[in-house]
Amino acid sequence: MNDRLLVRVYDVGFGDCIYVRIPDGGGDYTMLIDCGTSASADILKAVMDDVRAELPKEGGKRRLDLLVATHPHADHIKGFDPTWFEDVTIGRIWLTVFMKPDHPQAKKTLAFQNMANDAAHGLLERSGLALGPGVRSLLERSIWNPGALKALREDLAKASGIYPDYPLYVARDLADRLSAKERARHKLDFQQGTTCFRGFQEPGTRLRVLAPEWDIDKYYLGQGAFGSNSLADQSLFRTDAYKASSETLGQAGLAASQAEDAPAAEPVQPGNISAQDFRQLRSRLLYSGLAFSQKDDRLKNNTSVVLLLEWRGRRLLFAGDAEWEGTGVEEGQRNSTWDVMLHIPEVRQVLLQRLDLLKVAHHGSHNGTPFLKGGKEEVLDEILSAERTQVVVSTVTGEHGDVNPVPYPKLLKALGGLAKNKRRYPHAPEKELREVDQPQRTDLEPPVAGKEVRYVEVTLKPAGA
């Protein structure tokens, strides 16, 4: 197996934990991409025990060359408990630039996120308010996880002696903004419009950052204009929290909401909750809190780190929770990750080539992969091949309720027809998927013999071998 690249996508319920081992010049380069779950963190202990057992030993400790946290949702970062890394030396830590607390191009975003955090706390703590599982899950994802953030921003780097050089807050265009000295220190260069990590022994191996953009406020927040791709609606603009931060978040929506003849906006039912849950939240105060949380949820997803690993003729895409709208990119609007990547010609050229592995974004959600609104013809048919591409989904059925089911059956059918490792799962919870091809799913694969954990494992030989 020394000449094979290994990827393990662990079953952590609804969440991500991905271990990657890259053969590199006679040794191995090791990566951990995310470690989280929406369930109890207890499920992650056995997973981390398995990851540590895979790591090479060096100087009495295990060596992890690169740790990546794609974005700050709990189902991606809950497992970064420093006690689980006490016997591990980490070489580098990468976090999404969204998590940089003093980032000058994310001031609006961070102010908005803090409002969403407060609004979510207010709803979750409100006595007598019945919340369905989909709404509760949405609100919980809007709350910062202080312990995990502190571990990622400080504790893990200090324990490995790499602070303050790390963590490094990465973006697609980070290397283009660094000095030559900083690039050399972090072993980065800027190629084909992407930040490339070139710290491997083999010069042909590179790890590209395809997203997010450094300027978060410009690309992913927008200015609060109305429309299908807007930051929010009039009921959100009328909240005291928004008005108090109007200078930070922009004046356009505030002016519209304060106009004397501006009608009171009727709350529109969000797409991810049921009519019954929405009736519980119809009041202006409750709906505004939900609106904050829903927009913040997507904001975090769309600032996910998207990585493309190139190794010995192989291409592997790890897409975090990147979302897809299929509406292009508009100035001053809230744009989605896939739309932004495809909008930049150099990134589009790098992206739209055949993959050997696709880790499906956003746990197989309906808005995490380009397959609707013409997206399949534009993207999936370009990057996937039933003769070449392994496709993996880390998911659990029904976590978000029944309105927008996860995983999304139509998406899995589309991916199943384009995956080399397609499967049929007669025991799938979704009846419509039991007799059709699907990509491999962490929630439906059998247990691994002799282990306490489950995972989907992909191994790749060099191209042509």
Q: What is the pLDDT of residue 273?
A: 62
Q: Which two tokens stand for residue 151?
A: 């571990």
pLDDT at residue 402 greater than cutoff 60: no
Amino acid residing at 246: S
- Return mean pLDDT, the chain: 86
pLDDT at residue 282 greater than cutoff 80: no
Q: What is the pLDDT of residue 245?
A: 42
Q: What would the mean pLDDT of 219-237 be, rounded to a whole number?
A: 55
What's 336's domain CATH number?
3.60.15
In the 8-state DSSP scheme, what is residue 281? T
Binned at pLDDT 50, 70 and 90, residue 339 comes out as very high
| Main-chain dihedrals φ then ψ at residue 22, nearest 5 degrees | -115, 115
Q: Concatenate the DSSP letters of all residues of 417-458 into one string.
A: TT-TT-B--TT-SSGGGTTS-B-EETTTSPPPTT-S--EEEE
Query: Of 160, 207, 208, 187, whose CA–CA distance to 63 is shortest?
Result: 160
Binned at pLDDT 50, 70 and 90, residue 283 comes out as low
Residue 211 lies in a domain: yes
Range of the domain at 435: 5-103+144-218+299-460
Q: Report which of residues 241 and 207 the model is more confident about.
A: 207
Q: What is the pLDDT of residue 451?
A: 93
Residue 266 CA: distances (Å) to CA of 46, 229, 293: 48, 18, 18
Binned at pLDDT 50, 70 and 90, residue 287 comes out as low
pLDDT at residue 447 greater than cutoff 80: yes
Q: What is the pLDDT of residue 249?
A: 37
Residue 135 lies in a domain: no
Which uninterrupted H or E stretch holds 191? strand 188-191
pLDDT at residue 410 greater than cutoff 70: yes
Residue 425 lies in a domain: yes
Q: What is the pLDDT of residue 233?
A: 44
CA distance 2 to 250: 55
Q: Report which of residues 184 and 231 the model is more confident about.
A: 184
Q: Report which of residues 133 and 358 the model is more confident about.
A: 358
Number of C-alpha atoms within 13 angstroms, CB side, residue 56? Answer: 13
pLDDT at residue 404 greater than cutoff 80: no
Binned at pLDDT 50, 70 and 90, residue 269 comes out as low
Query: Of 310, 367, 377, whose CA–CA distance to 336 is shortest?
Result: 367
pLDDT at residue 292 greater than cutoff 80: no
Q: What is the pLDDT of residue 405?
A: 85
Binned at pLDDT 50, 70 and 90, residue 375 comes out as confident
Q: Concatenate the DSSP letters of all residues of 339-401 into one string.
A: HHHHHSHHHHHHHSS--SEEE-GGGG-TTSSS-STTHIIIIIHHH--TTT-EEEE---TTTT-
pTM above 0.75, yes or no: yes
| Per-residue pLDDT tens over the stretch 85-144 | 999 999 999 999 999 999 999 887 887 788 788 888 888 888 777 777 777 888 888 888
Count up the domains in the chain and report the number: 1
Q: What would the mean pLDDT of 198-210 be, rounded to a whole number?
A: 96
| Per-residue pLDDT tens over the stretch 43-61 | 999 999 999 999 999 888 9
Which uninterrupted H or E stretch holds 50? helix 42-54
Q: Report which of residues 399 and 314 the model is more confident about.
A: 314
Q: Report which of residues 240 and 154 the model is more confident about.
A: 154
| Per-residue pLDDT tens over the stretch 13-26 | 999 999 999 999 98
Q: What is the pLDDT of residue 286?
A: 66
Residue 18 lies in a domain: yes
Q: Concatenate the DSSP letters of all residues of 196-254 into one string.
A: EE--SSSTT-EEEEEE--S-HIIIII----SSTT-S--HHHHTSHHHHHTHHHH-SHHH
Residue 134 lies in a domain: no
Q: What is the pLDDT of residue 357?
A: 98
Q: Which two tokens stand for residue 34?
A: 């995310």
By three-state DSSP, how is residue 188 classified? strand
Number of C-alpha atoms within 13 angstroms, CB side, residue 246? Answer: 15
Q: For a pLDDT cut of 70, what percent of the chain falls above it?
A: 84
Binned at pLDDT 50, 70 and 90, residue 218 comes out as confident
| Per-residue pLDDT tens over the stretch 242-263 | 444 433 333 343 343 344 334 4
Q: What would the mean pLDDT of 378-405 be, rounded to a whole number?
A: 86
Residue 226 lies in a domain: no
CA distance 50 to 16: 15
Residue 129 lies in a domain: no
Residue 261 lies in a domain: no
